[in-house]
Structure 1
Amino acid sequence: MAPLLRSRGFVLIWAAGLCSSVASWLLLTGLPIYVFGVTGSAFTTSAVFLVELLCGITLGSFAGALADRLDRFRLMSCVAVAQAAVVLPLLAEPGHHLWIICLVAGAQAVLTQAFDSARNAALPSLVEPAHLVSANSMVALNISVGRLIGSSLGGFAITRAGTGYLAVGGVVAFTTAAALIVAGRRAARRDAARSKPPGRTSSFLADWRSGLATMLGNRTVRVTILSVALGGIAQGLFVVLFVVFVSRALQADGTLTGVLRGVQAIGGVAGGLIVGMLGARLSSRLLMSLGATTFGLISLIIWNGPAVTRQPGWYVLLFILVGVPGVAYSSGAFAQIQRSVPDTDLGRAFGVYYAIYNAAQGLGMAAAGLLGDALSVVLVLHVQAVLYLASGVVAYVGLRGVAPRSGTTVLVSGGERRETAESAP
C-alpha cells in the first residue's frame, strides 16, 4: 500500500473517487426517504431504485465506451461537473413532481457508471501491475467509507431541509471531486498521455459494437463476468429479502435492519485495508474465489442463525465480517479485467461489466419479488448463498491456467515506459 500512497496522482484520483462516493450515497439514501415521505407508498419509492437500475442496464455500456474515445481524466472531471449540475433541480422542493426525482436519479446512475468505468480504465496507467489489486482495494474502500458518511448525511439532510441540503451536499462533493481530478491529472501529466486512447476514425456505435465483440471473445472477461453475474443475482435476492428476513426470522423492527446494513460498511473498510496491504501477494483469481465462497459461507451461517439465536449482537458481528470478502472479490474482479484487456478497450470492458451486473441484480430482485411470498424466505436466501458459492467456483475453475496479457505497458516515475511481463494468477 505504501507505494500507492507515495503516488500523488493516484492519491488525488482516489480522493476524488471518495468525494464522488459520498455524494452518490447521499442521494441514494436521501431521495428514497423523500419520496416515501411525500407519497407514503413503498411501490412509488421503489420506482427510484428501478429507474436507476434500468438506466444503468440500458446505457451503462455506452457510458463505458466514452472512456475508450476520450481522455479519461478529462472525462472524469467533466462527468463530476455534470453530476453537480444534475442535482441543482433539487434545490427547489420537487413535492409531488416525482418525475424530477426520477430524472435526477436516472442521470446520476448513468454518470456514475461513466465515472467508475473511466476511473477503473485509467488505474493501470497510474500504478504498476503488481499493485493493481491493492489499488482496486483502495477504490473499493471508497464505497464503504462513502456509504458510512454519505448515508448518515443523507438521512440527516433530508429530515432537516428536504432536498435542498441534498443538492448543496451533492454540488460541494462533486465539484470537489472534479477539482481533485484536475489536480491529479497535472500530478500525473506524463501518465495522462497513456490514459487517452489513440484517436479513432470509426463511429461511436461501431466502437461500441466492436467492444462488445472483443469482450465476448476474451475468455478471461467472459468467465469473470459470468462469476459477477451470479453474484449480481445473489445480491438482488438479498436486497429484497433481507428486510423480510429481519422481520420474520429475527422478529425485529426496521432499526435492526438499518444497523445491519450500516455495519457491513465497517467490514468493507477493514477489507479494503487488509487487501490493500496484502494485494501484491495475492492473485486476482484467488481473491475472487475466496471472496465469493467466504461470502456464501457467512451468508449460510446468517440465514440459519435464527435456529440457534436471535440476539442482535451476533448478527451485527456477522454483517461486519461479510463486508471483508465482498471487497476482496470486487478487487480481484477489477484486477482480472485490467490485466487481461488491452488499454484501448478497458472503458468498454467496465461498461459491459457494470451493465451485466445491474441486469443480474435486477433479475435477482424480480425473482425475490416472485418467490419471497410463495416460498420460505430462508429457503430462497439459501439459494442466494449457493449462488455466491457458485460464483467462487466459476472464478477458481474458469480462470485456472488463464494468463493475463504479457508485456503490459506501465508508466513509472519520470514518465519512463516499461514493459512488464505478468505471470498467471
Structure 2
Amino acid sequence: MARIEFRRQLAAVGVVFANPGLRDCQLALALARIVDLAQLVAVSAYLYGQGGAAPVAAYGVIRAVAAAVGVPVLTTGTGRFGHGGMLRILGFVAAVATAGMALAMFAAGPVSVVLVLAGVGGLAIGAFRPICSALMPSLVTTPEELVACNAATGLLDGASTLVGPLLAGGLLGLLGPSWAVSVTALLLVATGLLSGRLPVPAAMPPLGEDTSLLDGVRTFVRTPQTRLLGVVGMLQTGVRGAMNVIIVALALDLLLVGEPGLGVLFAALGVGGLIGLPLTLGLVRRQSLYRSFGVGLILFGAPLALTGAVPVFAVALLMFAVVGIGNDFLDVSCYSAIPRAVPDHLLARIFGVLESAYQIGMALGAALAGVLLAAFDIRLSLVLVGLVLPLAALACARWFIRFDKALGTRDAEVDLLRGQPLFAPLPMPVLDNLASRLAPTRFTAGEVIMTQGEEGDRYVLIVEGTVAISKDSKHIASLGAGEAFGEIALVRNTPRTATAVASTAIEARTLDRAAFLAALGCDPRARAAAESVADVRQQRD
C-alpha cells in the first residue's frame, strides 16, 4: 500500500514536470538554490578560518539584510521585464558578484570586500524564490496541482539542499573555498540562461486597484493569512539563520568533523527533504495547509533542540534529516496557501514582501546566534534556538484551524467555477481571485432573476435549487445546482436573450460584469470556451 501511495505521489510530481514552463521554472529555482547553499558552506568555512564565528554571523546578517531590503523592489521588475527576463538579469548580476568574491578570496583580500559582494549576490539570488513562486501558480488549474507543484519544488529543494552542500564540501576538501565559490559563478550563468525561457503568467487585471510595491505591502499586512505566515515564518527563518551559524561551530569545534563534515551536516537537510516528500504529499491537503505549516514548525525546531541535548555526529545527521522533512511541510503549505489568499496580480509583490520578512528573520537569527555563542556554549545555544518553533506552533494553533476552515469554503466556490466550461481553462490564482469576487445571493421561489431584453450586468451560478429559463414566455430549460446562466449578454454585449425565474428557493453566487470579463480576458482558451457556450445557448434558445 505504501509503495502504491509513493508511486501515486511521484506521478503527481511527474505531471508537474511535463509542463515545460513549470519544468524550466523549477529547474531555475533549483539551480539558484544549489548555488545559494554551496556558497553558504564555502564562504562560511572561509570566513570562519579568517576570524571565527563573528564574520560568519556578519555574513548571514549582510546577505539577509540585503535581500530583505532589495527583493521586494526587484520583484516589481517583473512588470517591465517579465518573470523570465528579470530572473535572467538577476542570474547574470549574481554571477558577476560571485566571480568578484572568488577573486577577492584568491587574493586574500579584505573580509569586508567578500561580505559586500556576498550581499550583492545574495540579493540577486534571493529574488529567485518569490518570482518563481509567483509564476508557478499561474501555470496550474486546481488546488491539488498547486500542492503538487509546490511538492515538486520541495523535491528539488531537497535535492538542492543535498547537492549544494555536498558540492561545496567536496570542493572544499579538494581545492578550497575560493575554487568552490568560482564554480558557483558558472552555475549562475547557466541559471540566467535557463530563466530567459520562462513564460509570461496569466493574471486578472486589477480592476482599478493600485499595483505598486506599497499596495503589495498594504495587502500583505491587511490579509490575516499572509500576516500570520509572515510573522511566524520570520520566527522560522530566524531559527534557520541562527542554525546556519551555530552548525558551523557545532561541526568544527564540538563534533570535530572538519569542513567536509560541515558539508555533510548541511546535506542531511536535503536527504530529509527527499525522504519526506512522499510523506508531505500524502499529508498536506488543500484544506489542511495551515495545520501542515504548524506541523512543519515542530519538525523543524524540535530536532535542533535534541541535537543540542545529544551532540553526537550520528544523532545530528538524523535530527538534521528530520529538520529537512519539516522544511518540506513548511514550504509546500506556505507557498500553496499564499496564492489562495491574495489577488493574483499582486502575487509577485506579496512573495517579495514575504521574502523580505523571511530574510529579516534570517538576519536577526544570525545576529542572535553570535550573541548566544558568546554568552553560552554551543549545546545550550542550539537547545534554546530549537525550542522557539514548537512553542510558536502551539500558540498559533487556533488560527491555523480557522484559516483551514475558510479554505474549505473557498474550495467549494472554486470547484463551482471550475465546473463551468468557460472558466475551466483558467489558472488556479485567477480562479481563486474570481472566487473572492463571488457575491452570495438568495432568491425566493417565483422571484424573477433576469428578464429578457434587459441589460446584462451579472452572471449567476446555482448552488442549490432550480431555475426555469423561458424565452418569449415559452419554457425552454430548467437549470439546477452546479449550473450557471447569464453569460450570453456579457460575452456578446447584447440584451438578455431569455428570462430566468426561481422555481424553488435558490442559493446562488453572482459575478458582476467587470470581474466576469476580466477573467475571460486572462486566457484566450477561456474566451473561446465562453463563445462556444454562448453559441450553444443561443441555438437552444
Cα-to-partner distance string for 1:205-237 (whole Å, 9 max, x where unaligned): x92222211111101111111221222333344
Give the alignment partner of residue 42 of structure 2, picking from 27, 30, 35.
30
Match of 1:194 in 2: 202
Shift of 1:90: 4.8
1:132 aligned residue:
146
Aligned residue number for residue 314 of structure 1: 315
Matches within 5 A, 1:7-406: 7-36=19-48, 39=50, 42-67=53-78, 70-90=81-101, 92=103, 93-128=106-141, 129-157=143-171, 159-160=174-175, 163=178, 166-167=181-182, 169-185=183-199, 192-194=200-202, 207-242=212-247, 252-255=255-258, 258-276=263-281, 279-280=284-285, 283-305=288-310, 310=312, 312-375=313-376, 378-402=379-403, 403-404=406-407
Greater RCO structure (CA 8 Å; 6+ sep): 1
Structure 2 letter corresponding to 1:126: L
- Which TM-score applies when normalising by structure 1? 0.81
Unmatched 5+ stretches in structure 1? 186-191
- Indicate if the aligned counterparts of 1:284 and 1:332 stay in contact, CA closer than 8 A: yes
Contact 1:285 1:395 in 2 (8 A): no
CA contact (8 A) 1:63 1:110 kept: no
Q: Deviations over 1:295-323 (max 9, x none)?
A: 334344433336xxx4x433322322231
Which structure has greater strand proportion?
2
Alpha-carbon distance change, 41 to 380 in structure 1, aligned in 2, over 3 angstroms:
closer
Residue pair 1:233, 1:365 contacting (<8 A) in 2 also: yes
What is the SS of the residue equivalent to 2:310?
Answer: helix
Q: 1:246 to 1:99 in 2, by over 3 A?
A: closer
Q: Deviations over 1:26-67 (max 9, x none)?
A: 322323334455x45553454333321221222232223334
What CA deviation, in whole Å up to 9, does each residue of 1:154-187 have, x standing for no partner? 34445527635633x33432232233333443xx
Which residue in the other structure is 2:502 paired with? Answer: none
Q: Deviations over 1:265-303 (max 9, x none)?
A: 210122235424654566211210111123334344433
Of Structure 1 and Structure 2, which has the larger fraction of its residues in helix? 1
1:189 corresponds in structure 2 to none
Aligned residue in 2 for 1:188: none
**Mapped partners of 2:299, 2:156: distance in 1:** 22
Report the secondary structure of 2:226's partner residue: helix
Q: In terms of mean alpha carbon deviation, does 322-331 or 115-124 score higher? A: 322-331
SS in 1 for 2:140: coil
Q: In the alignment, residue 15 of structure 2 is paired with which amino acid?
A: P
C-alpha distance after superposition, 1:107-154 (max 9, x if no partner): 111112222111011111112332222222322333332232222333
Quote the Cα distance in structure 1 between the aligned partners of 2:341 and 2:228. 12
Question: In 1, are the aligned partners of 2:204 and 2:344 still within 8 Å (CA)?
Answer: no
Q: Distance in 2 between matches of 1:175 and 1:367?
A: 34
SS of the residue 1:194 aligns to: coil
Give 3-state SS (helix, strand or coil) of 1:43's partner: helix
Using the size of structure 2 for normalisation, the TM-score is 0.65
With over 3 angstroms needed to count, the CA separation of the structure-2 counterparts of 1:74 and 1:197, relative to structure 1, is farther
Taking the aligned partners of 1:270 and 1:78, their CA distance within structure 2 comes to: 34
After TM superposition, the structure 1 stretch with the greater mean CA deviation from structure 2, 49-58 or 391-400, is: 391-400
Distance 1:29 1:196 in 2: 42
Say if 2:127 and 2:352, in contact at 8 Å, map to a contact too. yes
Whether the aligned pair in 1 keeps the contact of 2:43 and 2:177 (CA below 8 Å) is: no
Which amino acid is 2:389 matched to? Answer: Y
For 1:348, the aligned partner's letter is R
Contact 2:239 2:385 in 1 (8 A): yes
- Residue in 1 aligned with 2:515? none
Cα distance 1:373–1:24, how it changes in 2: closer, same or farther (>3 A)? closer
Aligned-residue offset at 1:330 = 1.9
Q: What's the % identity of the aligned pairs?
A: 19
**Is 1:417 matched up with 2:429?**
no
Larger Rg: 2
1:346 deviates by 1.4
Whole-angstrom distance in 2 between the partners of 1:274 and 1:338 = 23
SS at match of 2:335: helix
Q: Measure the CA separation in 2 of the matches of 1:371 and 1:43.
A: 12
| Secondary structure of the corresponding residue to residue 109 of structure 2 | coil
1:322-362 deviation digits (Å, cap 9, x = unpaired): 31122111221121111111111112212221222222233
In 1: Cα distance, 2:45 partner to 2:249 partner: 19
How many residues are aligned here?
405
SS at 2:65 equivalent: helix
SS at the partner of 1:21?
helix
120-129 or 268-277: bigger deviation: 268-277
Asked whether the 8 Å contact 1:53–1:362 carries over to 2, the reply is yes
Distance 1:229 1:90, change over 3 A: closer
